[in-house]
């Protein structure tokens, strides 16, 4: 990538299954930017709590342990990585147990403060800019991002996408689980899932992944052209 291209910070938020990870990775790879999956960080700290016998239903116990695990995120969009205390947890953080407990852990203010600091330092040191995806990036983590996107899609479309990843998955149960997780993430007190006032909303229900990627790449290019 040329050093003459300006650095750009892109925040992509939205509920589960709207295409944040797939879109963010592809946009970052295409534009030579770094990529940060903030959901993976919350999953990693949740995995550590479970592995260390912390009761994730007890916010005080989770808060007490919040500073203990060392979480490291690799930001190459073609090979994102996540380790906890040096252990690769990219597989274990995707289990059903972690998915069902991550909203309780991510609602604890001490957890959010720790992970938000980490996210800001990663974004600040990305050499050519970064695409950061999550739930509160545009509202809280990077409120001065150059571009903010909020992806949405109907619960039916999101459930069909997610169920399509697992052979024999029940679409109705998948829909119920993701709606429940979105409700928990949207109703917590500290930096809930929300669209920033200055975010561009993109409804992906009837768009292919390729169309969403092209749409976001166009927004980034327009933003860069406007600031030249
Ligand atoms: N526009 C689209 N059309 C069809 N399938 C899509 C689209 N966008 C994403 N997908 C597929 O939907 C699934 C979920 O996408 P992805 O993991 O990117 O969503 P997400 O918003 O990051 O979800 P989560 O927040 O739960 O991690 C993936 O299998 C992905 O390939
Ligand atoms: N900025 C963020 C990102 C994620 N979370 C929490 O992590 C969970 C897992 O996220 P995925 O994107 O991997 O599905 C999510 O349900 C939130 O509880 C968050 O709080 N803030």
What are the chain's domains?
8-221 (3.40.50.300)
Residue 226: its pLDDT value, please?
87
* Ligand 1 atom at shortest distance from the alpha carbon of 204: 1
Mutate which of 16, 17, 153, 193 to test ligand 1's pocket (most atoms within 8 Å of Cβ)? 17
What is the model's pLDDT at position 131? 98
pTM of the full structure: 0.97
- Residue 134 CA, ligand 2 centroid: distance in Å: 6
Asked if 16 and 43 count as a contact pair (C-beta separation under 8 A), the reply is no
pLDDT, position 228: 75
Our answer on whether the CB atom of 165 is closer than 6 Å to any ligand 1 atom is yes
- Quick check: CB of 16 below 6 Å from ligand 2? yes
d(CA 157, CA 161): 6
Q: Whose CA is nearest to atom 23 of ligand 1?
A: 17
Q: For position 224, what pLDDT does the model report? A: 86
Which residues are CB-contacts of 62 (< 8 A; sequence separation ≥ 6)?
49, 54, 55, 56, 104, 105, 108, 110, 111
* 228 residues of the chain, pLDDT tens digit each: 444 567 999 999 999 999 999 999 999 999 999 999 999 999 999 999 999 999 999 999 999 999 999 999 999 999 999 999 999 999 999 999 999 999 999 999 999 999 999 999 999 999 999 999 999 999 999 999 999 999 999 999 999 999 888 888 899 999 999 999 999 999 999 999 999 999 999 999 999 999 999 999 999 999 988 887
Residue-wise burial string across 25-46, b where 16 or more C-beta atoms lie within 10 A, e elsewhere: bbbbeebebbbbbbbbbbbbbb
Pocket test for ligand 2, best of 102, 133, 140 (most atoms within 8 A of CB): 102
| Mutation test residue for ligand 2: of 37, 42, 161, the one with most atoms within 8 Å of CB | 42
At 142 the pLDDT is 98
- Is residue 17 annotated as involved in ligand binding? yes
CB of 39 within 6 A of ligand 2: the answer is yes
pLDDT (tens digit per residue) in 163-217: 888 888 899 999 999 999 999 999 999 999 999 999 999 999 999 999 999 999 9
Query: What is the 18 CA–ligand 1 centroid distance (Å)?
Result: 5
- Average pLDDT of the chain to the nearest whole number: 95
Q: Is the ipTM of this complex over 0.90?
A: yes
Under a CB-based contact definition with an 8 Å cutoff, are residues 154 and 18 in contact?
no
Cα–ligand 2 centroid distance for 193 (angstroms): 9
CA of 5 to the centre of ligand 2 (A): 31
């Amino acid at each position: 990538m040329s050093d003459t291209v300006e650095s750009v910070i892109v925040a992509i938020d939205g509920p589960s299954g709207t295409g944040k990870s797939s879109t963010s990775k592809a946009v970052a790879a295409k534009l030579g930017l770094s990529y940060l999956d903030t959901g993976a960080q919350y999953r990693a700290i949740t995995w550590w709590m479970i592995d260390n016998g912390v009761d994730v239903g007890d916010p005080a116990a989770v808060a007490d342990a919040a500073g203990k695990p060392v979480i490291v995120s690799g930001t190459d969009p073609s090979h994102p990585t996540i380790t906890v205390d040096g252990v690769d947890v990219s597989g274990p953080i995707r289990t059903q147990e972690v998915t069902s407990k991550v909203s309780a852990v991510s609602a604890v203010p001490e957890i959010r403060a720790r992970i938000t600091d980490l996210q800001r330092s990663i974004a600040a040191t990305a050499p050519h800019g970064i695409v950061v995806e999550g739930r509160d990036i545009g509202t809280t983590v990077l409120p001065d991002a150059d571009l903010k996107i909020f992806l949405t899609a109907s619960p039916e479309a999101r459930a069909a996408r997610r169920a399509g990843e697992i052979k024999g998955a029940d679409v109705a149960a998948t829909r119920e689980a993701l709606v429940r997780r979105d409700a928990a993430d949207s109703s917590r007190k500290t930096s809930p899932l929300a669209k920033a006032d200055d975010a561009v909303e993109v409804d992906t229900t009837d768009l292919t992944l390729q169309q969403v990627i092209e749409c976001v790449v166009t927004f980034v290019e327009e933003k860069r052209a406007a600031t030249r």
